[in-house]
Amino acid sequence: MKITDIQVKRLRIPLKKPFKTALRTVEAVDDILITIHTDTGDVGYGEAPPTAVITGDTRESIESAVMGFIRPRLLGLPVVELETIMARLHTALVGNTSAKAAIDMAVYDLFARYHQAPLFRLLGGARQTLTTDLTISVNDPAEMAEDARQAVLLGYDTLKIKVGKDPRQDLERIKALRQALGDGVTLRLDANQGWTPREAVKLIRQMEEVGLGIELVEQPVKAGDLEGLKYVTQQVETLILADESVFSPRDALRIMQERAADLINIKLMKTGGIYQALKICALAEIYGMECMVGCMLESRLSVAAAAHLAAGRNIITRCDLDGPGLCAADPWQGGPAFENAAITMSKEAGLGIVPGPVFDQYIS
């Protein structure tokens, strides 16, 4: 099974409602679709979201990276030569982690198909089912509380609440949510770099003092402020999850060595794909630091790749894989089943994902 061609297209899927964070507001999944073709007729699928405010990647930059730099280095390579492919992929150009992630997952899709096994089995086969949270966007407290109630009615018992847009209102937002939901729902907060270290410590301590029962706070400070992240981690009891501060295994190693956070959030679009994510998992196992697997605004295709990683490794103890739950449509068929909070891995080889009957409506 040799790579004969790599193609790019655009994938657009509307969201059920606008997705709002401290960094941006988005109304649709607007991603780049990658297909890797082989001499056996097998096709591997990958996806890259242009999350410029986090990864620096745009649609145009992803297309250019794939077609101008990555594609020429991979044509003709046997899919089973995974190390050679990954070496060429990650030295094709600096950065461009979303483009690399899309290629990476398409290669792993083909690699597992060649071995006639679901990808998560080849990655360790730790479990067959996963549970994801659901993200509640930043809005006024009443709207956030209603969104949260609707999520609980759908069966979600863990919610990730976006904060950080206005620190003065964040405490009131969380109080309103806890009052509306009671104590039976787990709350995670994601500040998306929206607080200063002092603001973070003050707000988190206030939440602790009034007993809001927050499981963790994700990326409270700027991505590059490792000292600030460590300061927050040391000053509060609530678990601190590093997200935008961790792209590479080297980033993860530094945080683990300095204990600058309690947990690591692995996203394929930051690491450049599964290959590098597995290195972070190995480091986390050595340092005893649990990981979450998360996603950007992505369709079920690339979220399925993240699910395969999460199902493969025991060190991944939490999932934030709600992309399919935010989309208003699903152009894919097969692969892991996303039924609100429950994710069930399938027995199909590779990612298990192929285009569905309405696929062409969402492609350009």
Q: Of 178, 168, 245, 164, give the one whose Cα is nearest residue 208.
A: 178
Q: Which residues of 271-300 are buried (b: 16+ CB within 10 A; e: fewer)?
A: bbbbbbbbebbebbeeeebbbbbbbbbbbb
Q: Which residues contact 126 (CB under 8 A, 6 or more apart)?
A: 120, 311, 312, 313, 314, 316
Distance linking the first and last C-alpha atoms of the chain: 28
364/354 Cα distance (integer angstroms) = 17
Selecting among 162, 165, 230, 270, the annotated active-site residue is: 162
Active site residue 162: yes
Selecting among 160, 165, 230, 267, the annotated active-site residue is: 267
Active site residue 9: no
One-letter identity of residue 141: P
313/310 Cα distance (integer angstroms) = 6
Q: Among all chains, which residue has been given the structure tokens 């607080």?
A: 195
Q: What's the chain's Rg over C-alpha atoms?
A: 20
204/216 Cα distance (integer angstroms) = 10
Q: Could you give phi then psi for residue 230, rounded to 5 degrees? A: -65, -40
- The strand ranges marked E within 75-178 are 129-131, 134-136, 158-162
Q: Could you give phi then psi for residue 45, rounded to 5 degrees? A: -115, 140
Number of neighbouring beta carbons within 10 Å of residue 116? 8
Catalytic residues: 162, 267
